[in-house]
């Protein structure tokens, strides 16, 4: 390569490898459906520079590896399966310097019939999207992150937004009680890959989001701002899960504005039936990443 040039990044792999895994324990069946992306980086660039493919692991071989390892070892969680694939690639092919695997999980849930969980029927229930990424350089520990996307939440009270900057550009009034609706995205990174119960962590993060947004069933929880809700979720996760090093939460506003009936006759005495206009765009977008301070005095 020209001495004035250097690689910023390079790698190759297989995208959109689709996998349905079925575990049969007698009449009780369990399924996992994943879409997987692999990416490998060689310790030489001769495939790019001179077209020498002698060290290249074909993308078709990478695809087949997904199916073979699922068959041999089974599938438990996106994170565990991604770790298995990354470890396999680095162990099997010494010419690799890095392996990266992304796994998207399809949201299947067991069907319930007449109040009973069905043995072998499932319903596609896209309440949220589960994605993870595992990358590892040879000789280093794997880096693991998990993402939650598309969790749409709404509550009709216990939310306000007041005392923000009032200047010549402001048109939004203070709101002591408003509808709070959002689509939650979260991404968290782990500080270890040893002995981690990824399924438990997923459930814990999901519970923290719902608890700090919704609160108890009868009373709810008051939110003075989306920012405060974001922080409470992050603080709860980091306090509960020492395996998590940092967490990003993004919560865009999905606005619902009160319909103005003042121009219509006979509407003054109509109470309790509130009508709102959903407005998707434009929308506010609140995001933050909260992590642990480095050093012995780390406190949240």
- For the segment 7-65, what is each residue's pLDDT rounded down to a tens digit? 999 999 999 999 999 999 999 999 999 999 999 999 999 999 999 999 999 999 999 99
Angle of helix 78-92 relative to helix 59-73, nearest 10 degrees, comes to 120
Say how far apart CA 74 and CA 142 lie, in whole Å: 21
End-to-end CA distance of the chain: 48
CA distances in angstroms from 15 to 12, 33, 45, 136, 223, listed in the order given: 10, 15, 21, 18, 41
**pTM of the predicted structure, to 2 decimals:** 0.92
C-alpha pair distances (Å), 66 with each of 116, 143, 156, 161, 175: 34, 20, 45, 49, 52
How sure is the predictor about 299, in pLDDT bands with cuts at 50, 70 and 90?
Answer: low
Tokens of 62: 């990478």
pLDDT of residue 296: 60
Distance CA 252, CA 154 (A): 12
Question: Distance between CA atoms of 15 and 187, rounded to whole angstroms?
Answer: 21
**Active site (catalytic) residues:** 14, 59, 255
Whether 267 has a pLDDT exceeding 90, the answer reads no
Query: Is 297 a residue whose pLDDT tops 60?
Result: no
Q: Which of 44, 36, 32 is nearest to 18 (CA)?
A: 36
Across the chain, mean pLDDT equals 95
Query: Between the CA of residue 143 and those of 27, 86, 128, 238, what are the distances in Å?
Result: 38, 11, 23, 18
pLDDT digits (tens, 9 = 90+) for 99-110: 999 999 999 999
Quick one: pLDDT at residue 141? 97
**Domains recognised in the chain with CATH numbers:** 9-140 (3.10.270.10), 150-292 (3.10.270.10)
Check whether 300 has a pLDDT greater than 90: no
d(C-alpha 209, C-alpha 230), whole Å: 8
The predicted model gives 113-127 an average pLDDT of 97
- pLDDT in the model for residue 202: 97
Give 160-218 pLDDT, tens digit per residue: 999 999 999 999 999 999 999 999 999 999 999 999 999 999 999 999 999 999 999 99
């Amino acid at each position: 390569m020209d001495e004035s040039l250097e690689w910023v990044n390079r790698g190759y792999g297989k995208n959109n490898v689709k996998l349905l895994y079925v575990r049969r324990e007698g009449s009780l069946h369990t399924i996992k459906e994943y879409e997987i992306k692999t990416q490998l980086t060689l310790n030489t660039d001769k495939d790019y520079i001179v077209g020498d493919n002698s060290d290249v692991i074909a993308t078709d071989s990478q695809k087949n590896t997904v199916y073979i390892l699922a068959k041999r070892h089974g599938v438990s969680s996106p994170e565990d399966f991604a770790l298995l694939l990354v470890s396999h690639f680095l162990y099997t092919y010494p010419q690799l310097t890095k392996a990266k695997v992304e796994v998207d999980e399809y949201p299947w849930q067991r069907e319930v019939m007449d109040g009973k969980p069905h043995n072998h029927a499932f319903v596609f229930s896209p309440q949220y999207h589960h994605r993870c990424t595992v990358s590892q350089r040879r000789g280093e520990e794997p880096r693991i992150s998990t993402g939650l996307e598309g969790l749409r939440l709404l509550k009709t009270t216990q939310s306000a937004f007041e005392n923000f900057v009032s200047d010549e550009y402001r048109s939004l009034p203070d709101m002591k009680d408003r509808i709070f609706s959002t689509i939650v995205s979260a991404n968290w990174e782990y500080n270890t890959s040893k002995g981690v119960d990824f399924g438990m962590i997923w459930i814990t993060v999901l519970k923290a989001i719902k608890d700090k947004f919704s609160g108890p069933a009868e009373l709810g929880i008051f939110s003075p701002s989306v920012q405060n809700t974001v922080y409470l979720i992050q603080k709860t996760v980091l306090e509960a899960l020492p395996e998590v090093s940092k967490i990003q939460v993004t919560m865009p506003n999905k606005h619902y504005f009160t319909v103005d009936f003042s121009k219509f006759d006979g509407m003054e005495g109509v109470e309790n039936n509130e009508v709102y206009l959903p407005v998707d765009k434009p929308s506010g977008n609140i995001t933050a990443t909260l992590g642990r301070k480095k050093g012995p005095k780390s406190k949240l």
